[in-house]
Chain A
Amino acid sequence: MCGILVHRVNGEVVEIRGNPEDPVTQGRMCPKGVSGIMQLYDPNRVNTPLKRTNSQKGIGVDPRWVEISWDEALDTIVEKLKKIKEEDPRKLLVTTSVTDRELGVLLPMFATAFGSNNHWEAGTGPCGDAQHLLAGGAYGSQVVVPDLNYCNYLISFGCNPGSSAYFQAVSMGWRLAEARVRGMRHVVVDPLLSPAAAKADEWIPIRPGTDAVFALAILNILLNDLKIYDTEHLKLYTNGPYLINTKGYYLRDRETGKPLIWDAVEQRSKVYDDAIKDFALEGEYTVDGIVGRPAFSLLREHVKKFTPELASEITTVPVETVCRIAQEYGNAARVGSTIIIDGKELPYRPVSVIYYKGAEAHKTAVANCIAFQLLAEVVGARAVPGAVLGLSRCLGYPGTDSHVQEITPGPDGFLTNKVCSCWPLAEPKKPESMSLQDLITTAVTTSPMFALTMREPDKWKIPYKIEMNLHSGANYISGRFDPNLAAEVFKDMFQVSFTIFLDETTDFSDIVLPDTCFLEEDAFEFGKLQHRLPPMSEQWSYHTKQRVVESRFERRHAAEVLLELAQRVIPDEYNLCLNSSLNLKEPYKLKPGRKYTWEEIIDCRYKSLFAPDRGIEWFRKNAVLNWPRKVEEIYWKPFNKARVWIYYEHFKPIADAISRIVSEHGLPELDLSDFQPLPEWRPCHEGEPADYDLLMIWRRDILHTQKFTYEDPWLDEVSKISPYVFAIAINAGTARRKGIKDGDWVELTSASTNNSVRARAKLTEGIHPEAVAISGGGGHWAKGMPIAKGKGALFEWLVSMTINDINVPSLCLDWCVKIKLSKVKGGQE
């Protein structure tokens, strides 16, 4: 996704460097980008189509591959697809990963055109499920980042900003570095001295899984003790003044059905968008005999129970620290101040709070995350200079309507954004898709429910079974939860994989198709702009991916292969689907039934998006298309009168509907307690045996964002520079108590799966005494990746996946894993 330039000599790649014209990276690179050369030349890549000859499938079972021709492979697949299409197209599943950007978009389109909505984005274990849900609601963008140009005080919970993780890795890296030099204070709340924490001004080690209590205590101090909150913002841009009845629902106007507020000047209720003199945020009012209180006063009341003392007891953070951070944060927010940028006077809130997987991967993910979200919201630190920004407003490429994203007030006055927003939420329906996202409509990103629904579709009243899986990129066997469960679910279907390596997941495939790597293929930018562009960058940017070297052996670009499959199975539907999904416009719309090459489609896309002279040829020559950005696109809040939630009333009707459907159809019982309008914290696990006394945490190393990076020999070598990458980090004091020395082999056993993993111990002072950390992505066992094999340990062996491990509203998997730590006697080599 970062702009690169590739130097080629005699048809071979000899250098990859950053493209200085890319405003996102400014020509900078990360180790993973540089190491792409080794991925290209890896002799372990798949070179020809392969067919499985061993009908047994299982972890560690040799598929006994034999090479076949492309014709044989495609004929087999087409035959299978046609059969399924005739029987029930819903029997087709597509599994994708964010790392394979083309197929991540094209495969779901294929499924939709085919007639199936079973799309599993399976390669995104560490994705921010609840975070995306809430950010989509408040920012109209799933991705939010702090405004590092102006922010003076940043608190991050369970994420790793500025250290090649989090979003827009390279850009965040240099922007945060500059902010550090500028004097921005960065406070990192994390059980581990993560790369971000090591560079931060303050590291607050916290007991795993309790971040929300810390946030709620700060919220309590801000709202009830210090009384620091942005009244103006709460009144105009949130549902703080909306009246809530005793059952927790809005008081609505009888005629219009709109939520009511109380006008403090006229002393009477009005609908929220009426002419209002002053919104009441406090008090208790009776409208038509029903008692209602403003949502804000409920919130203030609600957080009172989270005293600093209670927080300290739960989180192990000293009371003084909690109070000091609250005070510092409140002061830094400068509520009421303004700043002039480009001649426009804007609210100035130089504080940000960001959070991600580490803080949310709990049973109560959504209720937890509301706490983090509200920290920024109550001081008005949203989409204004210095505050948290989401890339949600774009006025489009000049002269066209491409990339236009506008924020508008939707139903009940709340923020909607057509391109990237989950609001208003869809009405829950009886499940049709294996993801259950049609029942649980609040789950906006990726669902792990496939593991349960596919195993027992009858139980979930889904009237078909998955028979075929088109798979690309995602290493789901080892990438989401207990591999044994994934193996059990996926062993009985016909699986076709587009892949460059034979990994743990392709060991379950029936046919493997050799894909090209990113240096061997053409593509347009598939990701949403929000994933790549930092909201505060001065320019919009769109770039292309072009082939640098011809693909060798019999490797073929998966997009082209998929196109051929579509043309043989669903020629009309696929072209129509591409037309709408790729925003193709006349005269560049694809004609149903006609065959197009991949390059023609790219050309049509570019010309539709930009201009007739901005086709593939232009992009091949220029690579990047930049256009300037306006202040009102970056700091859009003052320009769009849309409200966001501080009281998540909308969860209540959704929960009611789900509960009704569950009982009507006899679906398995779901824990709907997290559909609550106000933030909450509940402990993760209880009742494990006493020797399971440590909590496992998943850490992300700078070098390994994905699983396949372990196969790269350069990254492998530089990983060894750090003692933490392939080892298990244990608090030195804890280890001493358990008689474990630095470099010992240790075994971790999970209380929830009973599986164990082994790795060397790395004793460190930089981790909470009750936590143990594994780097994500390791523990490979596939023979097809010899460099990766045996390095590190796989966290997912320890993560169980049952209906009780799921946070229902976001379908976020609980990663609070209680483990037992023991020394391996005699070691292991």
Chain B
Amino acid sequence: MKAKDMFPKLAANVVSPWRSTEWAERKGLLEVVAFFASGVAGGAWLVSLYFYESGLLISLLIGLIVGGGGHLLVLGRPLRFWRMIVRPQSSWVSRGLIGIGIFSLAGILYLIPLYFSGMPWTASTPFGNAMLVLSVVGAIWMFTYSGFAFSFARGIASWNTPVLPLLHIVCGLRGGSGLLLLIISISGSTVFEKLQIANFWAVVASAILVGVYLAWMNGSGINTKRSALIMIYGKESVAFYLGVVAVGMVIPLVWGAIGFTAPLSLVASGTIGAATVIGNFFIHYSVARSGIYLPFVSQTQRLRLSKEVI
């Protein structure tokens, strides 16, 4: 008998907080991957439109396959996914999936004339322009909705903050720029200085927001403070220090700073990109893993109990 069989889902969580396995363990991690991928893809789409159109296809594929696919794969009944799309009024997950749908559809229609000639429309026709606008809306939506999906969960105090949607937006942008940097360095074309600068400041913004998030958690009551402790002291702190701080912030910032003084090699710029993207994942991961539910016996009840006992 394994230990985890001995102590199943909720055991021993009356007076201590507990974690749902849904978005944090086993299959639930796929959900985190899907949030991360759709955010990065949305960001990359926007950045690619501005800087480097060759990044569009990969952004689209990542958003569609990893983001959309990930969301579908975690479903118990994937074939019924259409039920989620027809009810946008119901929930953030539904809206998110619609966003991914709009993004993918508009993106594909926008991209087709770029790769295949002889289509009835091109990127510059009104239809193409409409698709462009739609895809941009979808892309923005993709790194926005996930933050709301998290912050909506009432029972998890540490997610219950407007900081998270903001953080997700910034993450989408930095992840997008990071991904594009990576694509560019792999494809071997020239280094985009402006993109590096954008990435640098996006990472700075995300670092500030993570700091704000931690400070907010620390100051917003016992339960959010517990989450902060889980994030930076517990077992999960490895993911935070290594994934979020070292890879996700120190590497892009240090190399980015070097980039201000001297032009960077393709490898260096690729490293910045990869580190930013990996960091993005761990930001999502750390937030998801540190989210805990309130204990079933509240603080006041505990005080009463301790009076009875002692």
Contact = CB atoms under 8 A, between A and B. Distances in A.
Interface in A15-60: none
A791 B2 CA distance: 11
Interface stretch (A536-544, A720-728, A802-810): A720-728
Nearest to A791: B1
B6 interface: yes
B2 A829 contact: yes
A397 to B, nearest CB: 47
Interface string B1-14: 11101111001100
B2 A723 contact: no
B6 A721 contact: no
Interface string A266-308: 0000000000000000000000000000000000000000000
Contacts of A726: 1, 6
Nearest to A792: B1
B86 to A, nearest CB: 37
A727 B6 contact: yes
Contacts of B8: 720-721
A743 B11 CA distance: 14
A723 B11 contact: yes
A721 B7 CA distance: 7
A468 B261 CA distance: 98
A723 B7 contact: yes
Report the interface size class on chain A: 10 to 19
A743 B12 CA distance: 13
Nearest to A719: B6
Contacts of A721: 8, 11
Nearest to A744: B3
Interface in B149-171: none
Contact of A723 (B1, B5, B6): B6
Interface string A535-573: 000000000000000000000000000000000000000
Nearest to A727: B6
Interface in B1-58: 1-3, 5-8, 11-12
Contacts of A727: 6
B34 to A, nearest CB: 32
Interface in A709-730: 720-721, 723, 726-727
Contacts of B7: 720, 723
Contacts of B3: 743, 760
Interface in B232-274: none
Contacts of A790: 1
A743 B1 CA distance: 11
Contacts of A760: 3, 6
A23 B209 CA distance: 66
Nearest to A760: B6
A268 B64 CA distance: 108
Contacts of A743: 3, 6
A609 B137 CA distance: 86
Interface string B90-119: 000000000000000000000000000000
A721 B10 CA distance: 8
Contacts of A723: 6-7, 11-12
Contacts of B12: 723
Nearest to B5: A720
Contacts of B1: 726, 790-791, 829
A188 to B, nearest CB: 15
A480 B121 CA distance: 88
B238 to A, nearest CB: 21
A714 to B, nearest CB: 14
B13 to A, nearest CB: 11
A727 to B, nearest CB: 7
A726 B11 CA distance: 14
Contacts of A720: 5-8, 11
A642 B138 CA distance: 92
Contacts of A791: 1
Contacts of A829: 1-2
B58 to A, nearest CB: 45
Interface in A774-810: 790-791
A727 B1 CA distance: 11
A760 B3 CA distance: 9
Which of the listed residues B2, B6, B8 has the most CB atoms from chain A within 10 Å of its own CB? B6
Nearest to B12: A723
A721 B5 CA distance: 10
B305 to A, nearest CB: 12
A720 B12 CA distance: 11
Contacts of B11: 720-721, 723
A829 B11 CA distance: 21
A691 B288 CA distance: 48
A829 B4 CA distance: 12
Nearest to B3: A743
A760 B7 CA distance: 12
A686 to B, nearest CB: 36
Nearest to A828: B1
B21 to A, nearest CB: 16
13 contacts: A720-B8, A721-B8, A723-B6, A723-B7, A726-B1, A727-B6, A743-B3, A743-B6, A760-B6, A790-B1, A791-B1, A829-B1, A829-B2
Given A720-B7, A743-B6, 20 more contacts: A720-B5, A720-B6, A720-B8, A720-B11, A721-B8, A721-B11, A723-B6, A723-B7, A723-B11, A723-B12, A726-B1, A726-B6, A727-B6, A743-B3, A760-B3, A760-B6, A790-B1, A791-B1, A829-B1, A829-B2
Q: What are the 7 A-B residue pairs with the smallest beta carbon separation, nearest first? A: A743-B3, A720-B8, A720-B6, A723-B7, A723-B12, A721-B11, A723-B11
